[in-house]
């Protein structure tokens, strides 16, 4: 069977690349509104873009187009895997290998970012979120790193509880990714002493992304994950490397939320804690597969 999803993901990769360039131009040159004058991006004293070019609007439009293509790719991949596992066809969640996980995240990370962008209008964060999506699809295109051939699903993965577990976990990671983009921008402005975006707005975006992401990540990891584990392996928790990595990452984000909500921290210390927590999430999700292994490793 010809993999139509591969062609759709290729088109989405191109869309993300063009969107990334527009976000880069927006962050570097700003955008010029005829009635309101120039609105600058990150770089101080940058020249405004040429009249009539709104890099931010183009970036967002191209990102939505790429997300639509990636959505079609995810659905196409689910249909291609339908003969191997009926539950994948039902819920459209193909995420049982490196290729499928990368392509799924390359869809949900930009989607989460764009939803946050509609609320906060901090488009500079899109440079990170869309760039990550482009890198993920680029990595998925490597047949050595992420083979795309359809493989039968092993019995332990053929469970509706795994579907819910993975969906919640990846949604949490998508929100954390946008939160890290805001965190990186917050730290950059703090150390460069250049405040093109009010730090309070960046901190609020960081907090909202982490709060929503933590809810999904915690429920996916500590509720639906153990239910699936008990069905698949006969125990709720086995101290597997990925389970422990997920627990440490979740506890670090819990510490961030405690310090932010209870202690009232809003400064660079809590931003660095959020950055460390995101690094732990990445290691628990991907690093464990290549350095520690375990029952949760995928190929």
Structure tokens of 85? 């596992």
Residues 142 and 161 both lie in one domain: no
Residues 2 and 140 both lie in one domain: yes
**275 contacts 183 by C-beta, under 8 angstroms:** yes
- Residue span of the structural domain in which 123 resides: 1-151
Which among 125, 151, 177 is the end of a domain? 151
Separation of alpha carbons 95 and 104, rounded Å: 7
Residues 195 and 283 both lie in one domain: yes
Residues 118 and 51 both lie in one domain: yes
Residues 279 and 140 both lie in one domain: no
Residues 145 and 161 both lie in one domain: no
Residues 50 and 170 both lie in one domain: no
Longest dimension (CA), the chain: 65
Structure tokens of 73? 């790719």
pLDDT tens sequence across 203-215: 999 999 999 999 9
pLDDT tens sequence across 81-103: 765 445 444 554 556 677 888 88
Residues 101 and 32 both lie in one domain: yes
Total domain count, the chain:
2
Residues 143 and 164 both lie in one domain: no
**291 contacts 237 by C-beta, under 8 angstroms:** no
Which among 116, 136, 151 is the end of a domain? 151
Residues 3 and 117 both lie in one domain: yes
**44 contacts 194 by C-beta, under 8 angstroms:** yes
pLDDT tens sequence across 5-57: 889 999 999 999 999 999 999 998 875 544 444 444 444 444 444 455 899 99
Task: Give the angle subtended at the CA of 174 by the CAs of 192 and 160, to the nearest 5°.
Answer: 165
Nearest to 260, CA basis, from 244, 277, 281, 237: 277
Where do runs of H (alpha helix) occur along 81-97? 86-91
Residues 93 and 183 both lie in one domain: no
Residues 211 and 281 both lie in one domain: yes
Secondary structure in 3-state letters for 244-260: HHHHHHHHHHHHHHHHH
Which among 98, 119, 151 is the end of a domain? 151
Residues whose CB falls within 8 Å of the CB of residue 32, separated by 6 or more in sequence, listed in order: 38, 39, 48, 49, 50, 51, 52, 53, 54
The predicted pLDDT at position 75 comes to 81
């Amino acid at each position: 069977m010809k993999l139509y999803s591969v062609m759709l993901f290729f088109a989405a990769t191109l869309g993300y690349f063009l969107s990334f360039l527009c976000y880069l131009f927006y962050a570097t040159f700003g955008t010029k509104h005829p009635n309101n004058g120039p609105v600058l991006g990150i770089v101080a004293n940058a020249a405004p873009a040429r009249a009539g070019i709104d890099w931010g609007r183009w970036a967002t439009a191209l990102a939505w187009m790429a997300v639509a293509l990636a959505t079609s790719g995810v659905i196409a991949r689910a249909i291609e895997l339908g003969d191997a596992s009926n539950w994948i066809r039902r819920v459209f969640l193909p995420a049982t290998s490196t290729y499928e996980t990368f392509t799924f995240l390359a869809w949900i990370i930009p989607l989460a970012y764009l939803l946050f962008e509609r609320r906060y209008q901090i488009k500079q964060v899109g440079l990170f979120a869309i760039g990550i999506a482009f890198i993920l699809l680029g990595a998925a295109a490597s047949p050595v790193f992420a083979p795309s051939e359809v493989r039968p699903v092993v019995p332990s993965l053929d469970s509706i509880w795994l579907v819910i577990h993975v969906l919640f976990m990846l949604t949490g990671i998508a929100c954390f990714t946008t939160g890290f983009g805001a965190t990186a921008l917050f730290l950059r402005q703090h150390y460069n002493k250049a405040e093109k975006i009010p730090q309070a707005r960046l901190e609020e975006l960081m907090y909202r992304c982490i709060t929503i992401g933590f809810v999904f990540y915690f429920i996916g990891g500590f509720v639906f994950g153990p239910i699936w584990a008990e069905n698949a392996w006969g125990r709720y928790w086995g101290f597997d490397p990925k389970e422990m990595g997920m627990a440490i990452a979740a506890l670090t984000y819990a510490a961030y939320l405690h310090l932010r909500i209870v202690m009232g921290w809003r400064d660079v210390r809590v931003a660095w804690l959020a950055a460390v927590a995101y690094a732990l999430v990445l290691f628990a999700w991907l690093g464990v597969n290549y350095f520690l292994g375990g029952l949760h490793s995928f190929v």
